[in-house]
Chain A
Amino acid sequence: MSNKKILIVEDDADVRLGYQVLLKANNYDTCFAGDSTAAVREARKHQPDVILLDLGLPAGDGFIVLERFHNIIELALIPVIVVSARATHGNKERALAAGARAYIQKPWDDSWLLASISQILDQPNTPRLDPTLIAS
């Protein structure tokens, strides 16, 4: 069985390297995007199993990226975990409402990040509770 692939959208090169080392050591394949335009391009190209998305990005923040994913049919079902240094309060609710599956506060504990990834990979293609469904 081939390794699961994770797209990391992160503008800080040091943090990207850190991700790479950690995820590789835990048997994940990784690919990277450093800004919001690259995020969509790389997601289309690699069709990752999970996307780790930073909120503060050049050329449009993470919320814009989430919205773009949502509107592209082949990307809409890829689970996204938002990993951000921004305050959890407010941003978490906003990210979940925009379709993210989880919100992780930077700096994170590796064990918590890895558990979240594996948990989400265990439940493939399950969009989170969608408020639009409830409204109807």
Chain B
Amino acid sequence: MRVRNLLRLKAYGDYYDKYSQTLEREVIARTADLVERSNVLEQQAVVLASQAALLDLAQDAIVVRDMQGLVLFWSRGAEVMYGWTSREALGRSAYDLLHATFSEPIELIESTLLRKGQWEGEAVHRTSGGTELIVASRWTLQRGVDGAPLRILTIDNDITGRKQADSDRRILTQRLSLATAVAKVGVWEWDLPTNMLTWDATMFDIYGMSPVVPMAYSEWSAVVHQEDLPAVEASLQRVIAEKGDGTSEFRIFTKNGAVRNISAVERVVLDESMNVSRVIGVHVDVTERKDSELALEQNGRDQMRFKDEFLSHVSHELRSPLTAIKQFTSILLSDVAGRLNDEQRQYQQIVLKNIHQLQSMIDDLLEVTHLETGKLTIESESVSVPDAVTDIINTLRGSARAKGVTLTSDFPPDLPPVQADQTRLRQILIILLDNAIKFTPDGGSIKIRARVHPQDPDAVLFEVSDTGCGISADIAERLFERLYQVPRDTQASRKGLGLGLYICKELIIRQSGQIWVKSEPEKGSTFFFTLPIFSLSNLMAPLLKNDQWPSESAALVMITVGLPKALSSRESRQEWSREVRNLLQRCLLPDMDVLLPTMSQAAEGERFFVVAFADEKGASILANRIRRQFERLPSSKQTGLTIKVSHRMLHSFPQPLGTPIDAMVSSLVSHLEVAINSPNHAGVFHE
């Protein structure tokens, strides 16, 4: 039995072992399963936690609520935005918490949400502190497994600031457009790819057009004044090319035909790739300003004219009594009214000298008026310096001798002629010498020197030096100012009007020269001035460069006028010479022919040269026309005035295309020089 029991026991034991092993395996497997599950759960928890953290990281307020509106989830963003903590918010009604109002009725929102599963819109929420926020709200409906609505996820974005900025911008824009409208500033935009313009209402007002938006560029360019359009378009193109901004002024025609002046400012707008896509700008109607500017200018001119007329009138009124004084002084001095004794004569000479001073002051006054009103005329010609200087010395020798001052000159005999107005050169020299005589004491000396400028081979340098009282450097600087008076107390001599050196400077500047002074007190002064050496190139170059060549060939016409003996005085010769020049000028075509200044004087009379841009036929027509006009003058027969007119072609023409202008000028000039300076004109010119 024992055996049997034992066997049984053993069988039980086996079973037990087997069972326990199975159980053990099971437990191990189960445990492993459990571990695995808990691992997964743990992992899921980590993922969820990190997702919640992500939600919390978002600045947007993320709120989950159930269908009754009770808060299930309240993100960190919501805490910050609304001021309620998650703990405070959970389980409460989101609507009540936030005092929510929406851009549309809540029923409508809910039906949209149920139908589409989503809603987007604006809402106004109140924070725990009572501040109202405008939020952009997005709602998403979550349904359960059975499809029934379960939860609503809302994401709110605070747009209060943006809304404020929008409204600020709207106010600014309104203000700006009010300002531009009131100030009548038209704003425009030019879209380059489409070449269309967008104008604001003021633009259409300025242009007197009915609004068209957008408008073709050509509709604008058509009303711009044709004379101004090229400049305006060039300005626009420059702005585009330089990617910058610019200004322009131009005239437009309005619908009713009125001309308005527009002042414009334009600026480019660049796209992302820094290309010019648009140009924006403003136009202002400145017609009234322009008009008042013109009125102001006119006013200035009127004043100038008034001053001019006043000075003319004054000098006229001063001259009339002076005329009678001078007449009778001269009569007394000429012994017509009985012989004067030496003392009486001396006194009358003093009167006459003072008359001359007064006369020259009146002349100066008028001269300055002419300088300032542009009435002063300068007729440049070739002037011999030795002749001019000798002439002046002869004129002033008397007054220098009367003061015990010696007058000398120094110039090389071969000094080239200067390009100047003979009368004006005389005037300049007289002013400088008169001054020198005035300020040089008895026994002193005055010297006129002329030579080719050591530093400038194209100019003659004149020097007028005296051994007078001299002036200090600071005074020397101001000497050429208008109405400047040298302050001196010891000088007995009268001051005069202080216009002489000013006139001198103006005359020299207008003849392309310069004037300056070097002086040392008690030792004397030297006045320097320059005048350009006469050259045909200088004379012709601007004429030729000024335009295209008027013609392909050029001719030189020479007119020799033999003056009758009766006209032998210098003044009358000058007078006649001017008459002849006037007559010649009237025979010429202003843009084709050039009357050269006096350059040579022949024994038989005076010579005039005309450069005509014409062919052989044209040149001979011109020569005949001149000859005929002279012959028609009654004076030419009655006074024995003789005229010889001849011409020759200058054969350097036509020049090949592309010859540099300088080469053409110098070629023409060298031909002219040969022809003019030829000793035997009859041989060179064919009659």
- A→B interface (CB under 8 Å): 12, 14-15, 18-19, 21-22, 25, 56, 85-87, 89-90, 102, 106-108, 110, 112, 115, 119, 122-123, 125-131, 133-135
CB-nearest residue of chain A to B639: A123
Q: Is the CB of A106 within 8 A of B583?
A: no
Residues on B with C-beta less than 8 A from A14 are 324, 327-328
Q: Is the CB of B566 within 8 A of A122?
A: yes
The 4 A-B residue pairs whose C-beta atoms are closest, nearest first, are A18-B327, A85-B319, A14-B324, A107-B326
Q: Is the CB of A18 within 8 A of B324?
A: yes
Residues on B with C-beta less than 8 A from A119 are 566-567, 569, 572
CB-nearest residue of chain A to B319: A85
Residues on B with C-beta less than 8 A from A56 are 316
CB of B679 within 8 Å of the partner chain? no
Given A18-B327, A85-B323, A129-B582, residue A115 in contact with residue B569 (CB < 8 A): yes
- Chosen A-B contacts, 11 in total, with CB atoms closer than 8 Å, are A14-B328, A25-B334, A102-B575, A106-B319, A107-B323, A107-B325, A119-B566, A119-B572, A126-B634, A134-B586, A134-B632
Q: Is the CB of B635 within 8 A of A129?
A: yes
Residues on B with C-beta less than 8 A from A106 are 319-320, 322-323
For the complex formed, measure the closest distance between the CB of B354 and the CB atoms of chain A, giving whole angstroms: 12
CB-nearest residue of chain A to B363: A105
Residues on A with C-beta less than 8 A from B587 are 134
For the complex formed, measure the closest distance between the CB of A134 and the CB atoms of chain B, giving whole angstroms: 5
Residues in B171-202 with C-beta less than 8 Å from chain A: none
Q: Is the CB of A127 within 8 A of B634?
A: yes
CB-nearest residue of chain A to B567: A119
Given A21-B331, A123-B566, residue A134 in contact with residue B583 (CB < 8 A): yes
B359-372 toward A: CB 8 Å interface, digit per residue (1/0)?
Answer: 10000001000100
A-B contact number at CB 8 A: 101
Given A12-B320, A89-B375, A123-B639, 7 more contacts at CB 8 Å? Answer: A14-B327, A19-B327, A87-B312, A106-B319, A107-B326, A123-B566, A128-B635
CB-nearest residue of chain B to A135: B586
Residues on A with C-beta less than 8 A from B160 are none
Q: Is the CB of B638 within 8 A of A123?
A: yes
CB of B330 within 8 Å of the partner chain? yes
For the complex formed, measure the closest distance between the CB of A85 and the CB atoms of chain B, giving whole angstroms: 4
Q: Is the CB of A126 within 8 A of B366?
A: no
Given A18-B331, A123-B638, A129-B579, residue A87 in contact with residue B324 (CB < 8 A): no
CB of B108 within 8 Å of the partner chain? no
Q: Is the CB of A22 within 8 A of B324?
A: no
Residues on B with C-beta less than 8 A from A87 are 312, 315-316, 366, 370
For the complex formed, measure the closest distance between the CB of B626 and the CB atoms of chain A, giving whole angstroms: 11
Residues in B588-609 with C-beta less than 8 Å from chain A: none
Residues in B289-332 with C-beta less than 8 Å from chain A: 312, 315-317, 319-320, 322-328, 330-331
Residues on A with C-beta less than 8 A from B355 are 107
- How far does the alpha carbon of A89 sit from the alpha carbon of B377 in the complex, in Å? 9
Residues on B with C-beta less than 8 A from A22 are 327, 330-331, 334, 336
Q: Is the CB of A15 within 8 A of B312?
A: no
Q: Is the CB of A15 within 8 A of B315?
A: no
B70-92 toward A: CB 8 Å interface, digit per residue (1/0)?
Answer: 00000000000000000000000
- B→A interface (CB under 8 Å): 312, 315-317, 319-320, 322-328, 330-331, 334, 336-337, 355, 359, 366, 370, 375-377, 566-567, 569, 571-572, 575, 579, 582-583, 586-587, 629, 632-635, 638-639
For the complex formed, measure the closest distance between the CB of A27 and the CB atoms of chain B, giving whole angstroms: 12
Partner of A86 from the list B312, B324, B330, B377 (CB cut-off 8 Å) is: B312
For the complex formed, measure the closest distance between the CB of A32 and the CB atoms of chain B, giving whole angstroms: 15
Give the residue among B330, B331, B569, B572 with the most A Cβ atoms within 10 A: B330
Residues on A with C-beta less than 8 A from B575 are 102
- How far does the alpha carbon of A112 sit from the alpha carbon of B575 in the complex, in Å? 14
Q: Is the CB of B569 within 8 A of A133?
A: no
Given A22-B327, A87-B315, A107-B355, residue A126 in contact with residue B320 (CB < 8 A): no
For the complex formed, measure the closest distance between the CB of B639 and the CB atoms of chain A, giving whole angstroms: 6
Residues on A with C-beta less than 8 A from B579 are 128-129
CB-nearest residue of chain A to B370: A89
- How far does the alpha carbon of A132 sit from the alpha carbon of B266 in the complex, in Å? 57
For the complex formed, measure the closest distance between the CB of B670 and the CB atoms of chain A, giving whole angstroms: 33
Q: Is the CB of A107 within 8 A of B319?
A: yes
Residues on A with C-beta less than 8 A from B337 are 21
Residues on B with C-beta less than 8 A from A134 are 583, 586-587, 629, 632
Residues on A with C-beta less than 8 A from B327 are 14-15, 18-19, 22, 107, 110
For the complex formed, measure the closest distance between the CB of B636 and the CB atoms of chain A, giving whole angstroms: 10
For the complex formed, measure the closest distance between the CB of B459 and the CB atoms of chain A, giving whole angstroms: 29
CB-nearest residue of chain A to B566: A122
For the complex formed, measure the closest distance between the CB of B610 and the CB atoms of chain A, giving whole angstroms: 15
Given A22-B327, A89-B370, A123-B638, residue A133 in contact with residue B632 (CB < 8 A): yes
Partner of A12 from the list B324, B567, B586 (CB cut-off 8 Å) is: B324
Give the residue among B316, B326, B327, B337 with the most A Cβ atoms within 10 A: B327
Residues on A with C-beta less than 8 A from B366 are 87, 89
CB-nearest residue of chain B to A91: B312
Q: Is the CB of B322 within 8 A of A107?
A: yes
For the complex formed, measure the closest distance between the CB of B638 and the CB atoms of chain A, giving whole angstroms: 5
For the complex formed, measure the closest distance between the CB of B561 and the CB atoms of chain A, giving whole angstroms: 12
- How far does the alpha carbon of A102 sit from the alpha carbon of B567 in the complex, in Å? 13
- How far does the alpha carbon of A107 sit from the alpha carbon of B323 in the complex, in Å? 4
CB-nearest residue of chain B to A130: B633
Given A126-B634, A129-B582, A129-B583, residue A110 in contact with residue B334 (CB < 8 A): yes
CB-nearest residue of chain B to A109: B330
CB-nearest residue of chain A to B325: A107
Q: Is the CB of B334 within 8 A of A15?
A: no
CB-nearest residue of chain B to A112: B571
For the complex formed, measure the closest distance between the CB of A46 and the CB atoms of chain B, giving whole angstroms: 22
- How far does the alpha carbon of A131 sit from the alpha carbon of B579 in the complex, in Å? 10
Q: Is the CB of A126 within 8 A of B635?
A: yes
For the complex formed, measure the closest distance between the CB of A115 and the CB atoms of chain B, giving whole angstroms: 7
